[in-house]
Amino acid sequence: MSIQLSGVRVRLGENDVLRNVSLDLDARTGAVIGENGSGKSTFARLLGGLISRTEGTVRVLGLDPGTQARQLRRRTAFLFSNPDAQIVMPTVAEDVAFSLRGSGFGPDELKDRVNTTLNRFGLAALAEHSSHDLSGGQKQLLALSGSFVRCPELVIADEPTAFLDARNARHVADHLFRDTGHRLVLVTHDLTLAQRCDTAVLFADGRIRTVGAPGTVVAEYERMLEC
Amino acid sequence: MLSLYLPGDGVLHRMPPGPKILTLLALVLGVSLLPAAWWAACAAAAMCVIAYAVAGLGDGAVGMRQFGRQVFAIRWIAGLTIVGQLIFLGPEPAVANTARVCAAIIIAALLVLTTRVTTLLDTLERALRPLEFVRLDPQRAALLLTVTITTVPVLAGLARQVREAQRARGSSGGLRTFAVPFLVMALKHADELGDALAARGVG
């Protein structure tokens, strides 16, 4: 099983942001939907080991994100909605190479991997370009390159298309959904994207309301929005 | 003031990072130790011009285009330094001291203009390794310095956003109305960057 949660509660400040969340998710692609403040992003950050649970058990790829975060991060990638916050290095190629620091690759292999990844995401011509001067869509593609260059088993994407126009959003989504052997947890407000996943999870008020086929879950969400 | 790497194959580009840092450090020390005299101001300016001319920056103007950019980038530092010293010290020490400060910054900029940040990161890591015995993590320390350098354009972008938002709301913009939102945005960015570094396996 790739993701298992049992009786998870996450308390941030004075609020329980996740309450009694239990889930067994083994689909290749899973969408997480719900209103703002429903707990979707907290759920994603919990899976990525970026925050800790207050109680309950969490297993991601068989590891506990609370105590085995370092091992887990070697096998997962996390994509944020704001690409600016993910860029660390000044040029495109250096930023992608940054993800491979400490991986033990020699300079030639590292360069090959970076070039292959940049080609795959259509950024090869911008390799020496300043990372911060890219367009929003290119920055998100750079963030994707930095994630995929490590060949992650699981990609957790927290509203990765929120800052993008329709064309770039589709482009980024196509890369995320392309089967390269990775699993995908996609937090999104875009219900069309959610429908492309194998399964969907609907969050409401810090709890899981429904899990199932995306069509059914999206229909329930839409009914919820009409109330 | 931020200088980004310029691809090239000049003398400084080809020089290994360790000797390059030592050479530039010696030049910076040299201009810093000059006396507060008119001739020292001329000497500091001459050292800058010569350093940029021989660096081989490949800007099509024997390094002078880049030199001009660096001078323009530190105009506020130069202005503030010279005004304060003119009031208290007189023209000769004011001009000489300002020339020395500006020359030191401009010469130091040659390091980032001719060295990739990745190379700097590796060099710093190696240089800081002996400090492991005092429990300094060289990887973290080098990363801290690198992230500080690369975050400057992000902060400049945030400052621009705040100014544009002020103008859009018809505000002429005071220090407090600028500083508060800028600090909030900068701290939020720091949080996000911390998460992004953690997610990329750092820390």
Burial class (CB in 10 A: 0-12, 13-18, 19+), B76: exposed
How distant is the alpha carbon of residue A91 from its chain centre? 23
Interface with B, mutate which of A47, A52, A72, A91 (most B CBs under 10 A) = A91
Contact B22, B131 (CB under 8 A): no
User: Which residues in chain B have Cβ-Cβ distances shorter than 8 Å to A90?
Assistant: 4-5, 117, 149-150, 153
Question: What is the DSSP secondary-structure string of A31-46?
Answer: EEEE-TTSSHHHHHHH
Contact A21, B170 (CB under 8 A): no
> B123-153 pLDDT, tens per residue?
888 888 888 888 888 888 888 887 887 787 7
Looking at chain A, which residue has its C-alpha nearest residue B185? Answer: A85
Q: Which of A149, A206, A140, A135 is nearest to A182 (CA)?
A: A149
Start-to-end CA distance of chain A, whole Å, equals 35
pLDDT of residue A91: 86
> Where is pLDDT greater, at B104 or B158?
B104
Residues 22-51 of A with CB under 8 A from B: 45, 48-50
Residues 121-150 of B with CB under 8 A from A: 139, 146-147, 149-150
> A49-92 pLDDT, tens per residue?
889 999 999 999 999 998 888 888 889 999 988 888 888 888 89
User: CA-to-CA distance for A181 and B21, rounded, in angstroms?
Assistant: 44
pLDDT of residue B3: 46
What is the residue extent of each domain of chain A? Answer: 28-50+69-226
CATH class as words, domain A28-50+69-226: alpha beta
User: Which residues in chain B have Cβ-Cβ distances shorter than 8 Å to A150?
Assistant: 201
> A30-50 pLDDT, tens per residue?
999 999 999 999 999 999 988
Contact A154, A183 (CB under 8 A): yes
pLDDT of residue B173: 66
Q: Per mean pLDDT, which range of A78-92, B9-23, B99-113 is the poorest? A: A78-92
> Where is pLDDT greater, at A91 or A10?
A10
Residues in a beta bridge with A186: A31, A157
User: CA-to-CA distance for A167 and A173, rounded, in angstroms?
Assistant: 10
User: CA-to-CA distance for B140 and A69, rounded, in angstroms?
Assistant: 18
Among B7, B117, B192, select the one facing A89 at the smallest CB separation.
Answer: B117
> A185-196 pLDDT, tens per residue?
999 999 999 999
8 Å CB contact of B116 and A86 = no
8 Å CB contact of A98 and B201 = no
How far A70 CA lies from chain B's nearest CA (Å)? 7
Question: What is the DSSP secondary-structure string of A149-160?
Answer: TT--SEEEEEST
pLDDT of residue A136: 87
3-state secondary structure of A18: strand
How far A90 CA lies from chain B's nearest CA (Å)? 6
Q: How confident is the model at residue A1 (pLDDT cuts 50, 70, 90)?
A: very low
